[in-house]
Amino acid sequence: MKIYPNPADNIVTIETLLKDNYNVLITDVPGRTIYRANLTDNRQIDVNGWQAGMYYVQVSSADGYRNVQKLIVR
């Protein structure tokens, strides 16, 4: 999984090689859900208006794939 740009100001792209549906869950440091979606391809997310700070981006699929990466929003 690739997340770019990181740190981000406006738009973040999540790029994955998964061919099937996958879930994206973005949480803040205390664990509150900020964004959730079911996707089938690369996704651009508008983070303009999010508070500056660190977030966790989790991508998971039904076949057990799971990846978590940090995202910094300026």
Pick the more confident residue, 70 or 43.
70
DSSP string, the chain: -EEESSSBSSEEEEE----S-EEEEEEETT--EEEEEEESS-EEEE-TTSPSEEEEEEEEETTS-EEEEEEEE-
pLDDT digits (tens, 9 = 90+) for 5-51: 999 999 999 988 877 789 999 999 999 999 999 987 788 999 999 99
What pLDDT sits at residue 17?
80
pLDDT score, position 35 = 96
Q: What is the pLDDT of residue 21?
A: 85
User: Could you count the other beta carbons within 10 Å of the beta carbon of residue 51?
Assistant: 9
Dist. CA 63–CA 65, nearest whole Å:
6
Q: What is the arithmetic mean of pLDDT over 47-62?
A: 95
Residue 69 has pLDDT above 80, yes or no: yes
Residue 44 backbone phi and psi in degrees, to 5:
-105, 135
> What is the pLDDT at residue 63?
86
Q: Which domains does the chain have, with CATH numbers?
A: 2-73 (2.60.40.3080)
